[in-house]
Structure formats: structure tokens, C-alpha cells
């Protein structure tokens, strides 16, 4: 009898529930051994009793499972000595509400057949009966399940068992384990395809092809907080503050990272040494400008602007430097006049340096007059070459930037 009902239950389950399966879900057989407590309705006049049960089912997807269950209850007539055996066969459908969580709730609904086998006649609702009693019933209830892993879960449910023949409702409490036999347990979804299931992935949406750790987050080999796939400076030393590209920060932009920079806040564009400090010039550097003037004039020519810019660039690269701008003349005219003219020529170039951004306290202008010619004043060509300005750049008295 048991074997016949068992086969019929599995056949009905396969026929009714197979459309519920989804291509995205893993299916498999389930085995559900358990124990329970059966509380008979007062109308039966039977004592409640513990009982064993065994279920075999099929999981169609992460929500739906069907089970065929056999249970046997050994009871006694209340206030009597008559023993009664109850055998039940039922086919249930279970719906798991939150299958992706460890603690899951589920609903159960099903029906089956009961056979009471008393040692002596029973009385139901005060009406004596003879022989065995057979009833059909339906049952429904709610339960909780704790998933230890993808294959093993502990579960318990409370359900009402209502006889369709006598209109009597008993109550059953069931506790047991559920074993899933399949290639995988609960459906594993991996939306970003990084190999870590969504329910374990702490970094969803990882770009395709990016290597991740066990938590689904992009690898950060040097631990600087910037993932390897965007880190332009791998192997950054531990504890070094980095920018969005994973490179050590360089706040003053001098090419020396902050953790090695002994002279922070150096001027933009300045040349620095390996410690991030200004390079100190230990010798005077004379910059011979190709700036010449017309006779009796202190006005520089527009085409000489690039020569002035050459001095500006040099001084920006070396912020510790100062410059002395020297004006010169040819020998025509009196020495006193030439001295004044040379001073005005030097002042013209000094003003241009200051206007280009060199601080005034780094610029000094002096007039040399006709005292230091560089060419023969007896020729027009020589005199033209002597009407000039020279820039002497020095940093001998400066200190390294702190």
C-alpha cells in the first residue's frame, strides 16, 4: 500500500509541478527525514504523540519544491489503554519566500490519506466505529528554514491537518533536515560575471575581465585603495597617500612625491633635486643677452622680447636666484651722460623682468656706462655691439628651501 501511494505521489508531482522549473534554476531530488508532534482534535479522543517522518521530493527552482511524505503516529485513546496506529501519506507543495537568505520562510499546502489502525473500535464525535478508519485530508501551514550551506538545511513548520470526511482539524508540528542532491544547491546568480555569487558579492557591477578577491571586489595588490586595473603606479609603499590613479601624491607638482619631498610647496615649474628641494646655483651665471639699443636710446626693440623671456624662464626654474641687470654704452658722448644712459637701459630690462613675474626683490639694475666695451668703439659695428644689456644671475648667498 505504501509503495503504491509513494509511486502515485511522485508521478502526480512530476506531472503538476514540472512547468514551474526555470532554465536559470538548479533542480534536484530532496530527502527530508524528520520528527514531529501530532496533536489530535478533541473529537478523536486520542492522546497527542511524537512521530517520525520521511519525505522524498523534487526542487524545481529556488522557490518551488514538491514532497511526498510518509509518517507513522503511535497513540492511545485518552484515559484508556487502546493503542492506535496512524499512517499518513501526503503530497505537499512548498513555496520558499526568500530563498537567497540564510533564514528562509516558506508556505506549505498539500493533501493526502490517513489510515487509523486501532486495537479495538474507536469513537469519533461519540459515534463508535468498527475496524480501520480511512480519511482523506488537506493540510496547510507555515515554516522556517535555516540553510547551513547550498545542500543542507534545518527546517520546521506548523500545519493544520483537516479531514475531508469528518471535518475535523488536527495540528502537526514538524522538524527535520532537508538534503538537496544536485550539482549545486540554491541558485547562484552572478550578475557581473566575476565568479562570485551576487549574495556574497560586496562589489557588484565589477567591469568584465577584472580580477577580484573572494568577496567580489577588484584586487588591490599594494593595498593603496586603488584597484589594480586602474592603478597606474603598482607597488606603492604601504601607508603612502595616493591619488585616484594610485600614484603617490605630489601636492606641489615638482615630480617628487609627498612622502619623499623634504621641501614641500616649491614654486610651480622650479627645478628641484631628488629630495624635492630647489637646486642651488653655486656659481654666478652670466647670461649675455642679445639686446642692443639704438644710439642715445634706452628703448628695447620688440624683437628682443624672446631674449628677456630666456632670463625669466631660467629664474623661474631656479627660484633661489637673483639677477643683476647691467646696462652698457658705447664711447660716444660724455662719460657722465653714458653712465645715466646705461642705467636707463638696465632699468628698461629690469622692468620687463618684473612685469613677466619675477619678484622685484630678486631684480637689481645697474649702469656700467662705457667702462666695459666688448668691441672696438672706433667702428660703427663695434659701437652697436657695445650698446647692450647683460644679466648676471647669482644664488651664492641663498639657502636651500626649507
What digits encode the pLDDT tens for the residues 265-308?
A: 888 888 888 888 887 766 666 666 778 888 888 888 888 888 89
**Bridge-based pairing state of the strands 363-369 and 322-328:** parallel
Query: What are the C-alpha distances in Å from 126 to residues 43, 45, 66, 167, 335?
Result: 8, 9, 37, 14, 147
pLDDT, one tens digit per residue, over 300-327 is 888 888 889 988 988 888 888 889 999 9
Neighbouring residues of 223: CB distance < 8 A, sequence distance ≥ 6: 238
User: For position 18, what pLDDT does the model report?
Assistant: 41
User: For position 69, what pLDDT does the model report?
Assistant: 97
Helix (H, G, I), strand (E, B) or coil at 19: helix
User: For position 111, what pLDDT does the model report?
Assistant: 96
Q: 130: pLDDT confidence band, cut at 50, 70 and 90?
A: low
**Percent of the chain whose pLDDT exceeds 90:** 42
Count of beta carbons in the 10 Å neighbourhood of residue 300: 21
User: For position 3, what pLDDT does the model report?
Assistant: 40
Helix (H, G, I), strand (E, B) or coil at 15: helix
CA distance 97 to 28: 19
* pLDDT of residue 153 exceeding 60: yes
pLDDT, one tens digit per residue, over 203-243 is 888 888 888 888 888 888 888 888 888 888 888 888 888 88
| Residue in 158, 157, 149 with CA at minimum distance from that of residue 180 | 149
Helix (H, G, I), strand (E, B) or coil at 394: strand
Q: What's the mean pLDDT in 30-38?
A: 96
Q: 373: pLDDT confidence band, cut at 50, 70 and 90?
A: very high
CA distance 239 to 258: 12
pLDDT, one tens digit per residue, over 381-391 is 999 999 888 88
Burial 82-116 (b: 16+ CB within 10 A, else e): eebebbbbbbbbbebeebeeeebebebebbbbbeb
Please answer whether residues 325 and 283 qualify as being in contact, where contact means their C-beta atoms are separated by less than 8 angstroms: no
Q: 88: pLDDT confidence band, cut at 50, 70 and 90?
A: very high
pLDDT, one tens digit per residue, over 174-184 is 999 999 997 54
Neighbouring residues of 302: CB distance < 8 A, sequence distance ≥ 6: none
Count of beta carbons in the 10 Å neighbourhood of residue 121: 11
| Residue in 187, 161, 188, 185 with CA at minimum distance from that of residue 172 | 161
Domains of the chain as residue ranges with CATH? 2-181 (2.40.160.20), 285-394 (3.30.1330.60)
Count of beta carbons in the 10 Å neighbourhood of residue 75: 21
Amino acid at each position: 500500500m505504501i509503495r503504491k501511494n509513494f509511486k502515485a505521489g511522485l508521478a502526480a508531482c512530476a506531472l503538476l509541478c514540472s512547468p514551474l522549473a526555470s532554465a536559470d534554476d538548479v533542480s534536484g531530488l530532496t530527502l527530508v527525514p524528520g520528527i514531529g508532534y501530532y496533536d489530535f482534535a478533541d473529537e478523536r479522543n486520542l492522546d497527542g504523540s511524537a512521530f517520525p517522518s520521511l519525505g522524498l521530493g523534487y526542487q524545481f527552482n529556488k522557490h518551488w519544491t514538491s514532497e511526498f511524505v510518509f509518517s507513522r503516529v503511535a497513540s492511545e485513546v485518552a484515559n484508556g489503554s487502546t493503542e492506535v496506529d496512524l499512517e499518513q501519506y501526503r503530497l505537499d507543495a512548498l513555496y520558499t519566500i526568500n530563498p537567497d537568505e540564510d533564514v528562509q520562510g516558506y508556505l506549505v499546502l498539500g493533501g493526502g490519506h490517513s489510515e487509523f489502525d486501532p486495537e479495538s473500535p474507536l469513537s469519533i464525535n461519540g459515534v463508535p466505529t468498527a475496524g480501520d478508519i480511512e480519511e482523506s485530508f488537506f493540510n496547510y501551514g507555515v515554516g522556517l528554514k535555516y540553510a547551513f550551506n547550498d545542500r543542507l538545511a534545518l527546517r520546521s513548520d506548523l500545519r493544520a491537518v483537516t479531514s475531508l470526511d469528518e471535518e475535523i482539524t488536527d495540528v502537526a508540528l514538524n522538524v527535520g533536515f532537508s538534503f538537496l542532491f544536485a550539482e549545486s544547491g540554491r541558485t547562484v546568480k552572478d550578475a557581473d560575471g566575476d565568479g562570485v555569487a551576487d549574495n556574497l558579492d560586496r562589489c557588484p557591477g565589477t567591469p568584465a575581465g577584472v580580477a577580484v578577491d573572494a568577496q567580489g571586489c577588484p584586487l588591490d595588490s599594494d593595498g593603496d585603495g586603488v584597484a589594480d586595473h586602474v592603478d597606474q603606479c603598482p607597488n606603492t609603499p604601504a601607508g603612502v597617500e595616493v591619488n585616484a590613479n594610485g600614484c603617490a601624491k605630489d601636492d606641489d607638482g615638482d615630480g617628487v612625491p609627498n612622502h619623499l619631498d623634504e621641501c614641500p610647496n616649491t614654486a610651480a615649474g622650479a627645478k628641484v633635486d631628488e629630495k624635492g628641494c630647489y637646486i642651488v646655483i653655486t656659481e654666478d651665471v652670466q647670461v649675455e643677452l642679445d639686446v642692443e639699443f639704438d644710439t642715445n636710446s634706452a628703448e628695447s626693440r620688440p624683437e628682443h622680447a624672446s631674449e628677456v623671456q630666456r632670463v625669466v624662464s631660467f629664474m623661474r626654474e631656479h627660484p633661489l636666484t637673483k639677477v643683476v641687470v647691467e646696462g652698457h654704452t658705447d664711447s660716444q658722448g660724455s662719460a657722465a651722460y653714458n653712465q645715466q644712459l646705461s642705467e636707463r637701459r638696465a632699468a628698461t630690462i629690469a622692468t620687463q623682468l618684473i612685469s613677466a613675474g619675477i619678484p622685484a626683490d630678486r631684480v637689481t639694475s645697474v649702469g656700467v656706462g662705457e667702462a666695459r666695451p666688448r668691441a672696438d668703439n672706433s667702428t660703427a659695428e663695434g659701437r652697436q655691439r657695445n650698446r647692450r644689456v647683460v644679466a648676471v644671475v647669482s644664488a651664492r648667498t641663498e639657502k636651500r628651501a626649507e
